C-alpha cells in the first residue's frame, strides 16, 4: 500500500526525466509535433554518435575530476569547521558562521568576473581545472558546513567528554568519535556537494579556455546556441550525462541513503 | 617579438606563394574564439584548419564560446590582457569594441593587402564594421531575413504559393486563411524573443513603415508593433513567439505547425531538410503598396583584439576568410558579403535568389557603441506591448527615451 | 545570556578556546575569505563607481556615490522585479520545505522499498540547472508542450495556457520548476534529521498514549528545529542564487514578468554593461542575505546551548 503510493509519487516526480529520454529518442521533426507523442513513433537513438562526435569522454572525465577535486577539498576544509560550529557558540564561532553564509550570497554568474580578474592576476588561469576546483570549493564550503553541522550537533557530547577524561587528545576525539558518529550526515553532504559540482557550469565556462580541459556542462551548452537548436541532440547529450550517475546512484543508494533510515544514533 | 612576427609573416607569404615550400620560422599560435561549433563542420573550424595546412608557420587554436556570452567574455579577456588574438563578434557590437579601442584598426593593413579590396564589400556589411572612418573587423559572411512558405498548405487553403503575400495586409489575410487551430497550425512563425534575435526580427517592420532603430516611437513604430500585436492576439502566430528563438520558431514551420515563417539562410543548411512538404521563399512583405523593402543585416564579424601579440598573422587569417566568401552559401549557410562571390551552383537556387535580393534591402543595426542598451530598450518595448502591459505607443515612448539616454551616455 | 554561557562552562567543557578547534574553523573561513570575500568587496566597490566593462582591472574609477542605486530605483522595472523576487523566494521555499518534509516523514515509515524509492528522488538533484531549464522549457511549451497535453487530456483545461509567454503564468512556471528542483534536497536533509531522532522518544510517547499527530508536534518538530532552520535559510539563500533555471526557462520574460533580482543584476552587468547598477543590485541582495544569515545564526545560538 505504502510502497504503491511511494512508487506513484516517484513516477510523477520523475516525469521530467522520462520526458528527457523520450525526447532524446525522437526524430527532430517529431519533437515539435503538436500535440506531443508520449512514445517516439520512430526510434532515433544517436547516443553513440553524440558521444563520439562531441568528444564526451574527455568532457565527462574533466567534469568528474573537477567535481572530485572540489568535493575532496570541501570535505577536508569543511568537516572540522562544521564540528567546531556545532560545539561552540562564542562570538567568534557565530561570526564565522555568519561570514560563511554571507559569502555565498551572490550567484556565480555575478561573482565570476571578479574571480576571473583575481585568478588571472594570480596566474591561476594557467591551471584552469584547479582554478575551477578552488572557485567551486568556495561555493560548496558554506553549503557543506551548514549541512553537516546539525549531524555533529546530534552527536552526544557525553561520549566526547568521557573520551577526553580518558586522556584522548582533542584531535583524536574529533577524528575517532565525532566524525564516525556523524558519518551519515557527512556522507550525504559529501554526495550532494559532488553532484552539485558535477553540474557546475559558470566557472568552468569562464575560467577554462582550452576545449580539452572543458567540462560536460559547457559541452552541453554548445547545443543550446543560436541558429542550431538540436533538441534531440541536447536531450541525448543530457541523457548520456545523467544516466551513468543515475545508475551509479541506483547501485549505491541503498547504502548511501538507506543508511539514513537506520538511524546511526540510538 | 616584433622581429619573429615579421619573419614568420615573410615566411608565410613565401609559403603562400609557393604553396608548400618548407618553412623554418617558429610557428605562431593564434587563439580564436568563435560561436561556431567544432562538430558541425562550421566555418571557423573548417577555414582555420585549411589555413593551417596552407600556412605551416601558423597554428590556430579555435575555441567555441556561446553566442550569448562571447562579447562579454571577449571584453573581460581584453580588459585583463588574457584575450584571444581573433574573436567573432556580432555585427551590431563592433562599434562597442571599436569605440573602446578593443579592436585593432584594420584600415592600414587592408590598404596594404593584396587580397582584400574594401570596394568589393556590399555597403551594409561594410558599414557594420566601420567606426569613425576605420574598419575594425571583417564580415565573415552575411545573413538576412526572408519569408518561408509551406506551398502545400497554401494550396490546401486555396492560395497560390507563386503569389506570396507582398504587403502586411496580404500577409495577415493569408495567415488568417492558413491558420487552423483544429490541425494545430498557425499562419506564421517568427521570433519576438527578448534578445538580439528579436530586435533583428523587429527592425525590418519599423523600417518598412518609415522608422528606424533610432526613431521607434513615431507612427511607423506604432503601426509595426500594432501589426505584430494583432498577429499574436488573433492567434495567427503562437503566443510562444515571445519566448522562442528564431530556430525554435522555424522548427514549428518544419513540423507543419506553422504555414509561413520568417527566418534566415541558416535554416537551409540543416533544419529545412526535415520538412515533409514543398516549400518556397519570398521577400519580406512591406508595410503597404509602394512602401520600401527592408530587412535586417545579420552575421558575425571577425576582429583582432588589440592585446594580440600577432596581429599580422591574425590578419592573414582574415585575408583567407575573405578569399573564401564564395563558399559561404553552399557550405556555411551564409550569404557572401562581397560582390562577385556568388557560388556557381548555389544550393536551393530559388531561395538563393530571394536572399540575394533581400540583401539589397538589408540595413545595419546601429552602428552605436550603446547598441546592447538600445537593443534592450527595443526588446522591452515590443515585449511590453505584446503582453499588453502597455499600448504600442506607451511601450515605444518608453523605449525611445531609453534609447535616447543610452545614446547620450555613449557619446559624452 | 551570561547565565546560559555559564551553564555551558559547567560541563567538563574542553571544547572552549582550544587551538585545535580554532585551526579547524580557521581553515574554511580563511579559504572563503580568499576566494569569495575579495570578489564581494570588489562588487561593493563597483556599486559606488562608474564602471566601464573594458576597464575592470583597475580599481581607480570615478566615485559616483549612490547614483547607481538611484538609477536602479528609478528603473520602471524595479518594483515588478522586487515583487517577483519576493514571490519567487517565498513560494519556492515554503513549497519545497513543506513537500520535502511530507515526503521525508512518509518515507520514514518502514515499507518495502522505502529507501530505494526515496533515493530515486535525488535524481533531480543530479541534473545540472541548465538541463533542468531545457527540459522544463520543453514541457511548458504552449503548443506542443507535454504539460498542456496532460492537462487537456485530463479535461482540466480547454484553451492552452502559454506558461512561458503569458505574463501571468511565467513566474508561476518558473516557481514550479524551481520547487521541483529543490524538493529532493529538502527531503534528504530533513530525512537525515528525522533519522537522528531517537526512536525510544516515540516509543515512550506512544506508551503515554500520544497519537501520531501529538508526537509529531511534541517530538518531531522540536527535535527538527535545527534542521528546519538550516533548510529554510539555505533554501532562501539558494533560491536567491537561482540563475541557471531562469536563464534556461524564460530569461526573465516576457517583459520582465518572471524577472528576479539575481537575473536582472546579471542582465545589467553583462548584457547592457551597466555594471555599476548590476553591482548595486548585487549589494542589495547581499544585504537581504545578511539578514537571513543573521536569523539563522541566532537560531543556532539557541540550539547549541539547549
Under 8 Å CB pairs connecting chains A and B tally to: 80
Q: Is C62 helix (H, G, I), strand (E, B) or coil?
A: coil
Nearest CB to B80; choose among A33, A120, A205: A120
pLDDT digits (tens, 9 = 90+) for B396-406: 999 999 999 99
A244 is a domain residue: yes
Q: Is C201 helix (H, G, I), strand (E, B) or coil?
A: helix
Place of cell 564564395: B326
Which segment of B17-21, B188-192, B231-235, C274-278 scores lowest on mean pLDDT?
B17-21
Structural domain spans, chain C: 77-273
Q: Residue B235's domain spans which residues?
A: 146-296+370-410
Q: Is B239 on the interface with A (CB under 8 A)?
A: no
Q: Are strands B186-189 and B258-263 parallel, antiparallel or unpaired?
A: parallel
- Alpha-carbon dihedral of residues A153, A154, A159, A164, nearest 10 degrees? -10
- Among C138, C168, C271, C274, the strongest candidate for a mutation testing the B interface, having the largest count of B CBs within 10 A, is C271
Task: Name the pLDDT band for B288 (thresholds 50, 70, 90).
Answer: very high
CA distance A197 to chain B (A): 21
Omega before residue B367 within 30° of 0, cis: yes
* Residues from chain C contacting residue A201 (CB–CB below 8 Å): 128-130, 244
DSSP state of C160: P
Q: Is C77 on the interface with A (CB under 8 A)?
A: no
CATH at residue B131: 3.40.190.10
CA distance B316 to chain A (A): 23
The predicted structure's pLDDT at residue B336: 94
* Residues from chain B contacting residue C56 (CB–CB below 8 Å): 76, 79-80
CA distance B239 to chain C (A): 6
Do A229 and B82 make contact, defined as CB atoms within 8 angstroms? no
* Residues from chain A contacting residue B37 (CB–CB below 8 Å): 222, 225, 228
Under 8 Å CB pairs connecting chains B and C tally to: 88
DSSP state of C257: T
- Among C123, C151, C197, C239, the strongest candidate for a mutation testing the A interface, having the largest count of A CBs within 10 A, is C123
* Residues from chain C contacting residue B66 (CB–CB below 8 Å): none
* Residues from chain A contacting residue C29 (CB–CB below 8 Å): 81, 96, 99-100
CA distance B303 to chain C (A): 16
C 27-66: CB under 8 A from A: 27-29, 31-33, 35-40, 42-43, 56-57
Nearest to A199 by CA among A140, A138, A258, A150: A140
Nearest CA in chain A to B82: A120
pLDDT digits (tens, 9 = 90+) for C16-66: 557 888 888 999 999 998 888 888 998 999 999 988 888 877 777 889 989
pLDDT lower than 70: segments of chain A: 29, 34, 53-54, 222-230, 252-266
Q: Is A101 on the interface with C (CB under 8 A)?
A: yes
pLDDT exceeds 90 at position B191: yes
Nearest CB to B79; choose among C53, C253, C270: C53
Is the domain of B213 the same as that of B287? Answer: yes
Is the domain of B282 the same as that of B403? Answer: yes
Do C266 and A93 make contact, defined as CB atoms within 8 angstroms? no
- Alpha-carbon dihedral of residues B130, B135, B137, B142, nearest 10 degrees? 50
For residue B142, list its beta bridge partners. B335
Is the domain of B303 the same as that of B291? Answer: no
Q: By 3-state DSSP, what share of chain A in percent is helix, strand and coil, each rounded to 5?
A: 80, 0, 20
**Using CB atoms, which chains have 3+ pairs under 8 A with C?**
A, B
pLDDT exceeds 80 at position C12: no
DSSP state of A37: P
Q: Specify the CATH number for C77-273; select among 1.10.3720.10, 3.60.10.10, 2.60.40.420, 3.40.50.970.
A: 1.10.3720.10
Cα dihedral A239, A242, A246, A248 sign: positive
pLDDT digits (tens, 9 = 90+) for B68-106: 889 988 998 898 888 899 999 999 999 999 999 999 999
* Residues from chain C contacting residue A143 (CB–CB below 8 Å): 234
Is the domain of B286 the same as that of B354? Answer: no
Grid coordinates belonging to B289 = 503598396
Mean pLDDT value across chain B: 91
Is the domain of B338 the same as that of B234? Answer: no
- Number of compact structural domains in chain A: 1
DSSP state of C161: P
pLDDT digits (tens, 9 = 90+) for C199-236: 888 888 888 888 888 888 888 888 888 778 878 988 89
- Number of compact structural domains in chain B: 2
Do B78 and C54 make contact, defined as CB atoms within 8 angstroms? yes
A20 is a domain residue: no
Mean pLDDT value across chain C: 84
Nearest CB to A221; choose among B66, B251, B271: B66
* Residues from chain C contacting residue B257 (CB–CB below 8 Å): 143-144
A43 is a domain residue: no
CATH at residue A186: 1.10.3720.10
Do A261 and C303 make contact, defined as CB atoms within 8 angstroms? no
pLDDT digits (tens, 9 = 90+) for B125-174: 999 999 999 999 999 999 999 999 999 999 999 999 999 999 999 999 99
Q: Are C212 and C247 in contact (CB under 8 A)?
A: no
Do B255 and A209 make contact, defined as CB atoms within 8 angstroms? no
Nearest CA in chain A to B61: A210
Nearest CB to B73; choose among A54, A206, A231: A206
The predicted structure's pLDDT at residue C253: 80
A40 is a domain residue: no
Do A221 and B255 make contact, defined as CB atoms within 8 angstroms? no
Is the domain of B225 the same as that of B205? Answer: yes
Cα–Cα separations (whole angstroms), residue C219 to C98, C194, C203: 18, 10, 11
Is the domain of B6 the same as that of B60? Answer: yes
pLDDT exceeds 50 at position C5: no
CA distance B33 to chain C (A): 18
Is the domain of B124 the same as that of B192? Answer: no
* Residues from chain B contacting residue A121 (CB–CB below 8 Å): 80
Nearest CB to C143; choose among B72, B240, B372: B240
Is the domain of B238 the same as that of B351? Answer: no
Q: Are B254 and A32 in contact (CB under 8 A)?
A: yes
Is the domain of B152 the same as that of B243? Answer: yes
Under 8 Å CB pairs connecting chains A and C tally to: 352
The predicted structure's pLDDT at residue A257: 59
Amino acid at each position: 500500500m505504502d510502497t504503491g503510493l511511494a512508487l506513484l509519487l516517484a513516477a510523477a516526480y520523475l516525469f521530467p526525466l522520462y520526458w528527457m529520454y523520450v525526447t532524446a529518442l525522437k526524430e527532430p521533426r517529431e519533437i515539435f509535433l503538436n500535440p506531443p507523442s508520449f512514445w517516439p513513433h520512430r526510434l532515433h537513438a544517436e547516443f553513440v554518435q553524440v558521444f563520439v562526435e562531441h568528444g564526451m569522454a574527455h568532457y565527462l572525465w574533466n567534469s568528474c575530476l573537477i567535481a572530485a577535486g572540489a568535493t575532496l577539498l570541501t570535505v577536508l576544509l569543511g568537516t572540522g569547521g562544521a564540528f567546531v560550529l556545532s560545539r561552540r557558540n562564542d562570538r567568534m564561532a557565530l561570526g564565522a558562521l555568519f561570514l560563511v553564509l554571507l559569502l555565498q550570497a551572490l550567484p556565480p554568474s555575478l561573482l565570476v568576473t571578479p574571480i576571473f580578474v583575481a585568478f588571472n592576476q594570480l596566474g591561476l588561469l594557467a591551471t584552469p581545472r584547479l582554478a575551477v576546483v578552488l572557485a567551486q570549493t568556495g561555493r560548496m564550503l558554506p553549503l557543506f558546513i551548514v549541512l553537516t553541522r546539525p549531524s555533529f550537533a546530534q552527536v552526544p557530547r557525553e561520549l566526547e567528554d568521557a573520551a577526553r577524561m580518558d586522556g584522548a587528545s582533542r584531535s583524536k576525539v574529533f577524528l575517532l568519535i565525532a566524525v564516525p558518529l556523524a558519518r551519515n550526515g557527512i556522507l550525504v553532504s559529501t554526495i550532494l556537494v559532488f553532484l552539485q559540482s558535477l553540474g557546475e557550469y559558470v566557472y568552468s565556462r569562464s575560467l577554462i579556455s582550452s576545449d580539452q580541459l572543458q567540462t560536460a556542462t559547457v559541452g552541453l551548452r554548445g547545443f543550446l546556441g543560436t541558429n542550431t537548436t538540436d533538441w534531440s541532440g541536447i536531450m541525448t547529450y543530457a541523457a548520456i550525462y545523467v544516466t551513468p550517475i543515475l545508475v551509479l546512484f541506483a547501485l549505491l543508494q541503498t547504502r548511501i541513503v538507506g543508511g539514513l533510515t537506520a538511524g546511526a544514533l540510538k | 617579438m616584433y622581429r619573429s612576427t615579421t619573419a614568420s609573416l615573410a615566411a608565410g607569404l613565401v609559403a603562400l606563394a609557393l604553396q608548400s615550400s618548407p618553412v623554418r620560422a617558429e610557428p605562431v599560435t593564434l587563439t580564436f574564439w568563435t560561436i561556431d561549433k567544432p562538430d558541425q563542420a562550421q566555418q571557423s573550424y573548417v577555414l582555420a584548419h585549411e589555413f593551417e595546412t596552407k600556412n605551416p608557420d601558423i597554428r590556430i587554436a579555435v575555441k567555441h564560446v556561446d553566442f550569448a556570452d562571447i562579447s562579454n567574455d571577449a571584453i573581460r579577456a581584453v580588459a585583463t590582457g588574457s584575450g584571444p588574438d581573433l574573436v567573432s563578434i556580432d555585427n551590431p557590437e563592433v562599434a562597442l569594441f571599436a569605440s573602446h579601442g578593443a579592436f585593432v584598426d584594420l584600415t592600414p593593413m587592408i590598404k596594404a593587402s593584396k587580397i582584400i579590396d574594401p570596394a568589393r564589400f556590399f555597403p551594409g556589411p561594410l558599414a557594420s564594421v566601420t567606426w569613425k572612418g576605420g574598419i575594425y573587423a571583417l564580415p565573415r559572411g552575411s545573413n538576412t531575413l526572408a519569408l518561408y512558405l509551406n506551398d502545400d498548405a497554401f494550396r490546401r487553403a486555396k492560395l497560390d504559393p507563386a503569389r506570396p503575400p507582398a504587403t502586411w495586409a496580404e500577409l495577415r489575410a493569408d495567415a488568417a486563411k492558413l491558420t487552423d487551430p483544429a490541425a494545430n497550425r498557425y499562419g506564421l512563425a517568427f521570433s519576438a524573443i527578448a534578445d538580439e534575435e528579436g530586435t533583428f526580427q523587429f527592425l525590418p517592420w519599423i523600417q518598412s513603415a518609415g522608422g528606424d532603430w533610432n526613431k521607434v516611437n513615431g507612427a511607423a513604430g506604432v503601426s509595426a508593433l500594432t501589426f505584430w500585436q494583432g498577429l499574436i492576439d488573433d492567434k495567427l502566430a503562437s503566443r510562444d513567439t515571445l519566448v522562442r528563438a528564431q530556430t525554435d520558431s522555424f522548427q514549428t514551420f518544419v513540423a507543419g505547425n506553422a504555414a509561413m515563417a520568417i527566418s534566415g539562410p541558416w535554416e537551409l543548411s540543416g533544419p529545412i531538410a526535415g520538412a515533409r512538404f514543398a516549400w518556397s521563399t519570398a521577400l519580406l512583405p512591406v508595410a503597404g503598396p509602394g512602401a520600401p523593402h527592408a530587412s535586417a543585416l545579420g552575421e558575425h564579424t571577425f576582429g583582432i583584439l588589440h592585446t594580440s601579440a600577432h596581429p599580422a598573422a591574425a590578419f592573414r587569417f582574415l585575408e583567407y576568410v575573405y578569399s573564401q566568401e564564395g563558399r559561404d552559401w553552399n557550405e556555411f549557410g551564409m550569404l557572401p558579403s562581397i560582390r562577385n562571390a556568388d557560388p556557381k551552383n548555389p544550393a536551393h537556387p530559388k531561395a538563393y535568389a530571394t536572399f540575394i535580393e533581400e540583401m539589397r534591402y538589408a540595413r545595419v543595426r546601429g552602428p552605436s557603441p550603446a547598441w546592447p542598451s538600445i537593443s534592450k530598450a527595443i526588446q522591452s518595448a515590443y515585449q511590453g506591448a505584446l503582453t499588453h502591459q502597455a499600448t504600442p505607443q506607451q511601450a515605444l515612448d518608453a523605449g525611445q527615451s531609453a534609447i535616447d539616454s543610452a545614446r547620450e551616455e555613449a557619446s559624452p | 545570556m551570561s547565565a546560559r554561557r555559564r551553564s555551558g562552562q559547567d560541563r567538563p567543557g574542553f571544547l572552549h578556546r582550544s587551538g585545535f578547534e580554532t585551526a579547524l574553523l580557521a581553515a574554511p573561513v580563511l579559504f572563503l575569505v580568499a576566494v569569495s570575500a575579495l570578489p564581494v568587496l570588489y562588487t561593493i566597490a563597483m556599486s559606488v563607481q562608474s564602471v566601464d566593462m573594458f576597464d575592470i582591472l583597475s580599481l581607480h574609477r570615478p566615485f559616483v556615490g549612490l547614483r547607481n542605486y538611484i538609477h536602479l530605483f528609478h528603473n520602471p522595472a524595479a518594483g515588478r522585479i522586487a515583487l517577483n523576487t519576493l514571490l519567487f523566494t517565498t513560494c519556492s521555499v515554503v513549497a519545497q520545505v513543506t513537500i520535502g518534509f511530507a515526503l521525508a516523514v512518509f518515507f520514514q515509515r518502514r515499507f518495502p522499498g522505502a529507501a530505494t524509492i526515496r533515493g530515486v528522488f535525488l535524481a533531480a538533484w543530479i541534473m545540472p540547472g541548465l538541463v533542468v531549464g531545457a527540459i522544463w522549457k520543453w514541457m511548458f511549451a504552449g503548443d506542443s508542450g507535454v504539460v498542456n497535453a496532460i492537462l487537456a487530456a485530463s479535461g482540466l483545461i480547454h484553451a492552452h495556457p502559454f506558461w512561458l509567454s503569458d505574463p501571468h503564468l511565467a513566474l508561476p512556471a518558473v516557481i514550479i520548476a524551481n520547487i521541483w528542483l529543490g524538493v529532493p534536497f529538502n527531503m534528504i536533509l530533513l530525512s537525515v534529521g528525522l533519522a537522528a531522532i531517537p526512536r525510544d522518544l516515540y516509543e515512550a510517547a506512544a506508551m503515554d498514549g500520544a497519537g501520531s499527530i501529538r508526537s509529531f508536534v511534541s517530538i518531531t518538530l522540536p527535535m527538527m528545529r535545527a534542521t528546519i532552520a538550516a533548510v529554510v535559510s539555505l533554501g532562501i539563500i539558494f533560491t536567491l542564487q537561482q540563475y541557471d533555471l531562469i536563464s534556461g526557462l524564460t530569461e526573465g520574460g516576457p517583459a520582465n514578468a518572471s524577472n528576479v533580482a539575481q537575473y536582472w543584476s546579471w542582465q545589467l552587468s553583462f548584457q547592457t554593461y551597466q555594471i555599476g547598477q548590476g553591482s548595486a543590485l548585487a549589494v542589495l541582495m547581499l544585504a537581504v542575505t545578511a539578514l537571513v544569515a543573521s536569523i539563522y545564526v541566532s537560531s543556532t545560538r539557541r540550539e547549541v546551548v539547549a
